[in-house]
Amino acid sequence: MFLKQYKYDKIYFVMGKIIISPSILSADFANLEQEINAVKSAGVEWIHVDVMDGHFVPNISIGVPVVKSLRKVTDLVLDTHLMIENPERYIEPFAKAGADILTFHYEACRDSKHVWEVINLIKSFNVKVGLSIKPKTSPENIFEFLDCLDLVLVMTVEPGFGGQIFMHDCAMKIPSIKEKAKNNLIIQVDGGINNLTAKICISLGANSLVAGSYIYGSEDYKKAIESLY
């Protein structure tokens, strides 16, 4: 197969390759460095960092100091998912802490102008920019931004918690996004991903899968990761 490679500073996206991004939300928080090295030795290049503020979502998880600490112990791509209100307030701290990708939520913005402001702010720090949509948000809402994004994150559960059941209807948004997108856009899916739902998302056009409980809840991380694609 012909593989076209796009160089994204340290992020290499190879067309035809599926990027697995294990969510450390389901990892052992007392041993994050080991948990990250364990998935690295299983072959992954990204880790997914779920930031929750207790407002945009009901849960609270981790923040800037943890990203800063992770940056010191890993060279993996820090794929940072901001489930927070007022994302513009926290872009600079997360960028300076070492996030490689900052994905914020369409629903956290007042209007299209606000979305553009956050996109441009993230780009001003030379960080890759992702935009995410919750299950009830229609993909048409984000079409106008697609050309300026590095990643679109389609949520297949309501954000806020790991270990929820995959919502098939949400995955059906993938083909319309793929059709409208430039060909090097990363289309990522997050929520309820396992060996079966991963195949559904890949067949619909996703090229990046976030998986938390499926990987970190398994006995053998490598086996779980390899079963996803």
Catalytic residues: 50, 190
What residues between 196 and 215 interact with ligand DX5 by CB under 6 A? 210-214
Order of all β-strands in the sheet with 208-211: 19-22, 208-211, 186-190, 151-155, 128-133, 101-105, 77-83, 46-52
User: Does 81 participate in binding Zn ion (rule CB under 5 A)?
Assistant: yes
> Which residue blocks in 107-183 are alpha helix, DSSP H?
112-124, 168-171, 174-180
- What tokens were used for 219? 């006995």
64/218 Cα distance (integer angstroms): 28
Stretch that binds Zn ion, among 37-45, 50-58, 63-71, 111-119 (CB under 5 A): 50-58
Q: How far is the CB of 49 from ligand DX5 (least distance, A)?
A: 9
Residue 218 within binding range of ligand DX5, rule CB under 6 A = no
Contact with ligand DX5 (CB under 6 A) among 163, 184, 196, 226: 163
Cβ-Cβ contacts under 8 Å for 158 (sequence gap 6 or more): 134, 135, 164
At 81, give phi and psi (nearest 5°): -105, 105
Which token pair is 207?
């090229």
Shortest Å distance, C-beta 97 to ligand DX5: 19
Question: What, of Zn ion, ligand DX5, none, does residue 56 touch, CB below 5 to 8 Å by kind?
Answer: none
**Is residue 188 within 8 Å of 171, Cβ to Cβ?**
no
Stretch near Zn ion under the rule CB under 5 A, chosen from 63-71, 175-183, 186-194, 220-228: 186-194
Question: Of 49-57, 122-130, 141-149, 199-207, which segment contacts Zn ion by CB under 5 A?
Answer: 49-57
Q: Examine residue 53 and tell whether it contacts Zn ion (CB under 5 A).
A: no
- In DSSP terms, 214 is beta-bridged to none
Residue 170 has phi, psi (to 5 degrees) of: -70, -35
What is d(CA 42, CA 66) in angstroms, rounded to the nearest whole number?
23
CA 175 to chain centre: 18
Instruction: Provide, rounded to whole angstroms, the least separation between the CB of residue 1 and ligand DX5.
Output: 28
Closest separation between CB of residue 94 and Zn ion, Å?
14
Q: Give, as ranges, the residues between 56 and 75 that touch ligand DX5 (CB under 6 A).
A: none
Spell out, one character per residue from 115 to 134, where the chain touches ligand DX5: x when CB under 6 A holds, - when not. --------------------
Length of the chain: 229
Of 139-158, which residues contact ligand DX5 (CB under 6 A)?
Answer: 157
For 17, the enclosing helix (H) or strand (E) is none
Provide the binding-site residues for ligand DX5, judged by CB under 6 A.
Answer: 23, 25-26, 48, 50, 81, 157, 159-164, 190-193, 210-214
Provide the binding-site residues for Zn ion, judged by CB under 5 A.
Answer: 50, 81, 190
